[in-house]
Chains A and B, each alone.
Chain A
Amino acid sequence: AQSVTQPDIHITVSEGASLELRCNYSYGATPYLFWYVQSPGQGLQLLLKYFSGDTLVQGIKGFEAEFKRSQSSFNLRKPSVHWSDAAEYFCAVGAREGGSEKLVFGKGTKLTVNP
């Protein structure tokens, strides 16, 4: 069965520092991969996605992610974090079972940004 692992439950970084959030997936076929962000009390906003092609994908708010098939990873990065990036980040894989697609989410990584 498909699964997504986000090994870091909580990460704290200083404003201006670089950020990398880890995501590993388990899926038999070519995965469709997503990163969503959830600010407190808000819904899920799509940051970026990987379907095929270039393994380095750019998203909104200066985020990027790199798909590495050999490591089954899709880590999210940002070179310089802003205080407004404090939120919870979810990695997800688009899984197709029974003729229908669904998203399988990781447990999320909560990001705290120190001034």
Chain B
Amino acid sequence: EPEVTQTPSHQVTQMGQEVILRCVPISNHLYFYWYRQILGQKVEFLVSFYNNEISEKSEIFDDQFSVERPDGSNFTLKIRSTKLEDSAMYFCASSFLELNTQYFGPGTRLTVL
């Protein structure tokens, strides 16, 4: 069964450093998403991406964040200058159609020291 994959599973970085989280969505899916889950809190929407551009972003997704689909398979989330409060689990998701089931990857746990 096709699945969403994410790398790395765990990333530790120093405050102020740039990180890139990688995702490989399900191959025939067209809509891509990033969510995050701060420890002990609920999963929160960050951004959605379709047709090589951002469809919607939340207030969390400020200028420090960016997303890219550099090739036909990868979907990346970049945080330019990490802050302590960026420590969270970041989930990538994809769906074939809008208003359809989103399939989630296993997540990347980001720890900012």
Contacts and interface: CB of A to CB of B under 8 A. Distances in A.
B27 interface: no
Interface of A: 32, 34, 36, 42-46, 49, 90, 92, 94, 96-108
A44 B104 contact: yes
Closest 3 CB pairs of A and B: A100-B55, A100-B56, A43-B106
Contacts of B45: 102-104
A106 B55 contact: no
Given A101-B99, A108-B42, A43 B50 contact: no
B102 interface: yes
Nearest to A104: B45
Contacts of B31: 101
A30 B42 CA distance: 23
B42 A106 contact: yes
A114 B19 CA distance: 41
Nearest to B102: A103
A43 B107 contact: yes
A99 B101 CA distance: 17
B25 interface: no
